[in-house]
């Protein structure tokens, strides 16, 4: 039976959603939850784990910093909106009303944390509260509704190397909507901003701060990759030759994940986006060019 154009478009959309869902659940989500962390760090008990005994969600992320722990800790100690900032993407933070300003120097007035102190990530969101501290090594904050804890740990590897490990634990509701909201909406946002914070700590401790212009360019590249993906999918749904734009769309998804996973590779990212754009033009030309009549 030959499908109508609408039927074929629906079938393509279902296949794309199923394929993406499987890839996201099997490959992308586990990588997001454990970005940079070793299996030993993922399985290790960390400060703050005992606060939410019924937590059913956990992420552990980490980064190696070529600086001694004593030089790294001051950058971690002053984390927080209204303090040293979150060292993340100011353009995105301020888009959501966070009123963020990320420090590029150690601020002596924000080097002390005490149990009960308020810890804010964003001016437009309810603040967390500091609930545990290991002096010069770690602190833990808990959300106002007591459903999330967030631990920040600095570990010394040797005299010139350290690791920063962060762990988020949460109690996620049992409904499908709550589970999907955590996995599809909150997890990607948390991954994006938290990994940038880790990279921001590394840049500051190592003295290699790149500047906000590069951060803005990264964000623009992500939006371009998303736009190319949407255009390619739309072309596949309405076009006669559906597979060229669909293939380009899948490549655009891969490009987007590459840009998110390897944030420091801007030249390669620009080249990859350019290649995807050329591919999209090719896919669209395959869709619009008339078929040549058979010889004879």
Of 227, 238, 240, the closest CA to residue 290 belongs to: 240
76 and 163 together in one domain: yes
In a domain, 295, yes or no: no
Q: What is the CATH number of the domain that holds 142?
A: 3.30.530.20
Of 110, 111, 144, the closest CA to residue 127 belongs to: 144
Read off the pLDDT of residues 252-288 as tens digits, 9 standing for 90 and up: 777 777 777 766 555 666 666 666 666 666 665 655 4
Number of domains the chain is built from = 2
Of 220, 240, 239, 217, the closest CA to residue 228 belongs to: 220
In degrees rounded to 5, what are phi and psi of residue 264? -85, 0
pLDDT value at position 61? 98
Q: Is the dihedral of CA 253, 14, 191, 221 positive or negative?
A: positive
166 and 258 together in one domain: no
284 and 181 together in one domain: no
In degrees rounded to 5, what are phi and psi of residue 173? -60, 160
pLDDT value at position 240? 67
257 and 278 together in one domain: yes
Asked which of 144, 176, 208 is the last residue of a domain, the reply is 208
Question: DSSP string of 28-82?
Answer: IHHHHHTTT--HHHHHS--TTTTT-TT--EEEEEEEEESS-HHHHHHHHHT-BTT
In DSSP terms, 41 is beta-bridged to none
Q: pTM, whole model, 2 decimals?
A: 0.84
In degrees rounded to 5, what are phi and psi of residue 290? -70, 150
75 and 203 together in one domain: yes
Of 276, 270, 262, the closest CA to residue 35 belongs to: 262
pLDDT value at position 289? 46
The structure tokens listed for 45 are: 């008990």
In the sheet that holds 118-119, the strands lie side by side as: 57-65, 161-170, 148-158, 138-142, 128-134, 118-119
142 and 278 together in one domain: no
pLDDT value at position 290? 47
Read off the pLDDT of residues 37-83 as tens digits, 9 standing for 90 and up: 999 999 999 999 999 989 999 999 999 999 999 999 999 999 999 99
123 and 16 together in one domain: no
How far, in Å, CA of 165 to CA of 42, rounded? 10
pLDDT value at position 73? 98
Asked which of 169, 185, 208 is the last residue of a domain, the reply is 208
What Å distances lie between residue 65 and 70, 194, 195, 204, CA to CA? 12, 16, 13, 10
pLDDT value at position 150? 98
Half-sphere exposure of 105 (CA within 13 A, CB side): 3
pLDDT value at position 21? 86
68 and 204 together in one domain: yes
pLDDT value at position 153? 99
190 and 244 together in one domain: no
| Residue 143 φ/ψ region, left for φ over 0, alpha for ψ in the -120 to 50 degree band, beta for the rest | beta
Q: Which domain holds residue 113?
A: 35-208
The structure tokens listed for 20 are: 């993406």
What Å distances lie between residue 180 and 29, 96, 221, CA to CA? 12, 22, 26
pLDDT in tens, the chain (296 residues): 566 777 777 887 888 788 888 888 888 899 999 999 999 999 999 999 999 989 999 999 999 999 999 999 999 999 999 999 999 988 888 887 787 889 999 999 999 999 999 999 988 889 999 999 999 999 999 999 999 999 999 999 999 999 999 999 999 998 989 988 888 888 988 998 999 999 999 999 999 887 777 777 777 777 777 787 777 777 777 766 767 777 777 777 777 777 777 665 556 666 666 666 666 666 656 554 444 555 54
Residue 255, classified by CB atoms within 10 Å of its CB into exposed (0-12), middle (13-18) or buried (19+), is buried
169 and 283 together in one domain: no
pLDDT value at position 50? 96
How far, in Å, CA of 249 to CA of 229, rounded? 5
């Amino acid at each position: 039976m030959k499908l109508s154009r609408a039927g074929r478009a629906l079938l393509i959309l279902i296949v794309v959603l199923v394929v993406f869902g499987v890839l996201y659940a099997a490959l992308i989500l586990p990588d997001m939850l454990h970005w940079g962390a070793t299996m030993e760090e993922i399985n290790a008990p960390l400060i703050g784990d005992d606060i939410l005994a019924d937590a059913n969600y956990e992420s552990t992320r980490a980064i190696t910093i070529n600086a001694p722990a004593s030089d790294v800790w001051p950058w971690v100690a002053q984390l927080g909106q209204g303090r040293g900032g979150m060292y993340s993407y100011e353009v995105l933070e301020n888009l959501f009303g966070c009123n963020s300003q990320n420090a590029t120097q150690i601020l002596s007035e924000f080097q002390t944390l005490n149990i009960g102190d308020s810890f804010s990530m964003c001016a437009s969101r309810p603040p967390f509260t500091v609930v545990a501290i290991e002096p010069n090594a770690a602190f833990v904050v808990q959300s106002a509704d007591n459903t999330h804890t967030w631990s920040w740990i600095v570990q010394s590897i040797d005299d010139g190397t350290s690791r920063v490990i962060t762990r988020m634990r949460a109690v996620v509701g049992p409904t499908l909507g709550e589970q999907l909201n955590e996995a599809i909406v909150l997890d990607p946002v948390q991954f994006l901003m938290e990994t940038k914070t880790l990279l921001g700590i590394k840049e500051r401790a190592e003295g290699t701060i790149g500047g906000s212009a590069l951060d803005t360019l990264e964000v623009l590249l992500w939006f371009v990759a998303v736009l190319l993906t949407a255009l390619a999918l739309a072309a596949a749904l309405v076009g006669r030759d559906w597979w060229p734009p669909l293939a380009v769309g899948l490549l655009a998804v891969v490009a987007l994940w590459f840009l998110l996973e390897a944030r420091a590779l801007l030249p390669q990212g620009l080249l990859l986006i350019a290649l995807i754009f050329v591919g999209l033009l090719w896919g669209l030309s395959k869709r619009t060019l008339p078929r040549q009549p058979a010889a004879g």
